[in-house]
Structure 1
Amino acid sequence: MPTARAYAAPSATEPLVPTTIERREPGPHEVLIAIKFAGICHSDIHTARGEWGAISYPIVTGHEIAGVVEAVGSEVTKYAVGDRVGVGCYVDSCRKCVNCLAGEEQYCLEGEIGTYNAIGRDGKPTAGGYSTHITVEEDYVLRIPDGLDLDVAAPLLCAGITLYSPLKTWEAGPGKQVAIVGMGGLGHMGVKIAHALGAEVSVISQSLKKQDDAFRLGADHYYASSDESTFEDLKGRFDLIVSTVSSDLDLDAYLGLLALDGTFVAAGLPENPMSFGPGSLVGFRRRLAGTKNGGIRQTQEMLDFCAEHGLGAEIEVIPAEKINEAWERVVASDVRYRFVIDTSTL
């Protein structure tokens, strides 16, 4: 088996350390990818620190992967050595349930196999993109268009698709008023994508400190949630609100910002359950929804869309030795807007 250099979390409380892991030789339908860049997602931190459930340590996280095909299995037809490719939040699924057959593998009824913190078909724990190589079945690999540099493309495999999917599902576009709640790793991509889709885009963030960035990335309006007048002035304004934040929200206040038939979509995961009064929905036929990421087909569509419109993530590229520092900065919201690991430094 080929070996790969990696960074792993030994436990929930220890810093990440350099290590070596094994990767599979490509099976008949698999490709071996030389990872060039790996984005740092807050989910990596939540998972490795045991905040979302029990973990088997050591764990190698990372599900925003961009690289180049290094080897292919004997029956691979979709990719060749040298192709620019990506891997997102999962590397397999059951392939036979109604959702998988519909191209919605992220909602696999048997549970998709995560890029890390899961058990693969080989019976071994999956390990993510904080490494130099990964072996993946070709149907779960994405092609990165030539119009996208690999470093800015890596975060699209999670942050990009997590916002593209709800914006497409609930038809953001010309004539639609769209609000993005939160201006972080997810939110900044929501602004870019909603603007490129032709919607009128508002950002609702805790303060005004990222206002200039929001306008630069395509926002038409910017509001501070800490200003009580915001929720009065914007009542009934939006056709679609996508929340990217992990902090607890006054859900009734945000539902009150929806127009008739408007939809509030939760893309972030607040720590505590959120409650709301049914009247916040029934009065104007509003909807409350959730979203995960996207299927392979839609993720490829997103990558092609981003290449066509020149949309990449706003990134800060770091060497491996700064991963632990970057994690602390992510927790402190001190990044604009995605850290990306140069895996040649592992």
Structure 2
Amino acid sequence: MLKTSAYAAPSATKQLAPISIERREPGPHDVLIDILYCGVCHSDIHQVRDEWGGAIFPMVPGHEIVGRVKQVGQHVTKLKVGDIAGVGCMVDSCRDCASCKGHIEQFCEKGVAFSYNSTEMDRKTPTYGGYSSQIVVDEHFTLKVPAGLDPAAAAPLLCAGITTYSPLRQWNCKKGDRVGVVGLGGLGHMAVKFAVSMGAEVTMLSTSRSKEADARRLGAHAFESTKDEATFQKLAGRFDLIINTISAPHDYNKYLGMLRPQGAMVIVGVPPEPTPVAAFSLIGGNKRLAGSMIGGIAETQEMLDYCAKHNIVSDIEIIPIQKINEAYERMMRGDVRYRFVIDIASLKEPART
């Protein structure tokens, strides 16, 4: 076993602290990656605080991982030593069910192995994420990070990137489409960048008027305040597609009213409580309310290659791992533009159990 330095939450009520964990020795199909950077996702906070239930402690979060390949198994063909590689939200699946064969491994019928707060496919061995110095992953669940992408700014693409790229692809976002993005945060800023790059006319819908300048800097063509009730009447029937990134409680019905007939609103944020939806909000106009969860491995690689081609990365603030608890509090206040990324080089002091 490989002794690995990491930061973990010992329980739902305690702060993250240094820990020593064990990684398996690389097998014939495995890749050993020395982690360079790990993005900090809002879902990390939900998980370490057990807000979604089922938390496994000690928990090492992190599923936006970029690092350098240190070792490969004898049957590995996808990567070689020295390559810059990524690991996203998944580290394994059954590979045999219809979902896995259909390249949507995140919906594995036997239950996907998530990168942390999960178990390997043996349903016994806990998985640990990227707030750590190294990780061992089957090559199928690794990604090639194109040479043109800054490794630190590319890390959040492994979750925030694919989470917003996938629904835009699913709904065939194209030149001339009118796209609304609800919420300008880690997800929202990526949705703006992607939709603009695909040729859409993009409107940022936010409660924070102070974010207008930033929205326009990111490429948004318009900005509308959703604190103003008149906005919902002004934009009634306007959008072909809405990407809703908000994780706070809000009224879906108001936003559905902004869709044109046969338009769609895709939910990628996770509010803490169920949201009532009136039937006529959907029936009136044959509108669609849908959800989207990350993407399969093939689509994630497609997204990374697309980002390299279009020079798209996340806006980030790099932090040492010793500031992770402070970063969580800042995230809860919305005090980040727009993704924290941990410099794992800061995790070089000897780990303690």
TM bracket (short chain): over 0.9
Output one character per residue of 1:161-181: Cα deviation in whole Å (capped at 9) or x when no partner: 000000010011101000110
Residue 249 of structure 1, CA deviation: 1.7
CA deviation vs aligned residue, 1:179-216 (integer Å, no higher than 9, x gap): 11000000000000000111111110112111111111
Matching residue of 1:309 = 310
Q: Which residue does 1:269 correspond to in 2?
A: 270
What one-letter code is carried by the residue in structure 2 that aligns with 1:136?
Answer: V
2:3 pairs with 1:11: no
The SS at the match of 1:4 is strand
- CA distance, structure 2, for counterparts of residue 252 and residue 55 of structure 1: 32
Summarize the alignment of residues 219-258 of structure 1 with structure 2, pairs less than 5 Å apart. Answer: 219-258=220-259
Counterpart of 1:182 in structure 2 is: 183
Q: What residue identity is the alignment partner of 1:277?
A: A
d(CA) in 2 for partners of 1:168, 1:203: 19
CA offsets 1:272-310 (integer angstroms, 9 cap, x no match): 111121111111111110000000000000000111111
Mapped contact 2:239–2:260 kept (Cα < 8 A) = yes
TM-score normalized with structure 1 length: 0.99
> How far apart in 2 are the matches of 1:139 and 1:12?
32
How far apart in 1 are the matches of 2:121 and 2:12?
26
RMSD over aligned CA atoms reads 0.8
1:31-50 alignment to 2 at 5 Å? 31-50=31-50
Residue identity (%): 54
Q: CA deviation at 1:74?
A: 1.4
Deviation (angstroms), 1:17: 0.5
**2: CA distance, partners of 1:235 / 1:158:** 31
| Partner SS for 2:11 | coil
Structure 2: runs of 5+ lacking an equivalent: 348-353
Please list, as runs of the form range in 1=range in 2, the aligned pairs for 1:124-203 lying within 5 A after superposition: 124-203=125-204
Match of 2:351 in 1: none
- Equivalent position of 1:117 in the other structure: 117
- DSSP 3-state at the match of 2:51: coil
CA distance in 2, matches of 1:108, 1:244: 24
Aligned length: 346
| Cα distance per residue 1:87-117 (max 9 Å; x no partner) | 0001011111111101011111122110001
CA distance in 2, matches of 1:68, 1:41: 21
**8 A contact 2:56–2:118 mirrored in 1:** no
How many angstroms does 1:56 deviate by? 2.3
2-side partners of 1:71 and 1:2: how far apart? 13
Runs of 4 or more, structure 1, over 4 Å off, are: none
User: Quick check: 1:56 aligned with 2:56?
Assistant: yes
Q: Does the alignment pair 1:338 with 2:339? A: yes
Shift, 1:121, TM fit? 3.5
User: SS state of the match for residue 34, structure 2?
Assistant: strand
Q: Secondary structure at the residue paired with 1:299?
A: helix
> Residues 97-108 of structure 1 correspond to what in structure 2 (within 5 A)?
97-108=97-108
Q: Which whole-Å CA distance do the structure 2 matches of 1:64 and 1:56 have between them?
A: 19
Q: Deviations over 1:290-338 (max 9, x none)?
A: 0000000000000001111111100000001111100111111111000
SS of the residue 2:264 aligns to:
strand
Residues in 1 aligned to 2:296 and 2:51: alpha-carbon distance in whole angstroms: 26
SS of 1:246's equivalent in the other structure is coil
Are the counterparts in 1 of residues 94 and 121 from structure 2 also a CA contact under 8 Å?
no
Structure 2 SS opposite 1:209? helix
Where does residue 299 of structure 1 map in the other structure? 300
Contact 2:63 2:129 in 1 (8 A): yes
For residues 81 and 19 of structure 1, what CA distance do their matches in structure 2 show? 27
Give the TM-score normalised by structure 2. Answer: 0.97
Shift of 1:251: 1.4
SS state at 1:226 partner: coil
1:311 is paired with a residue of what secondary structure? coil
2:350 corresponds in structure 1 to none
Unpaired runs of 5+ residues, structure 1, are none
CA drift at 1:23: 1.0
- Give how far 1:54 is off: 2.5
Separation in 2 of the partners of 1:92 and 1:217?
A: 34
What corresponds to 2:88 in structure 1? 88
Quote the Cα distance in structure 1 between the aligned partners of 2:292 and 2:108.
14
User: CA–CA distance in 2 between the matches of 1:100 and 1:320?
Assistant: 34
Q: Which amino acid counterpart does residue 50 of structure 1 have in structure 2? A: D
Q: Distance in 2 between matches of 1:111 and 1:166?
A: 22
After superposition, the C-alpha distances for 1:21-73 in whole angstroms (9 at most, x for unaligned) are: 11111111000000000000011110011101032211100000000110011
CA distance in 1, matches of 2:298, 2:162: 11
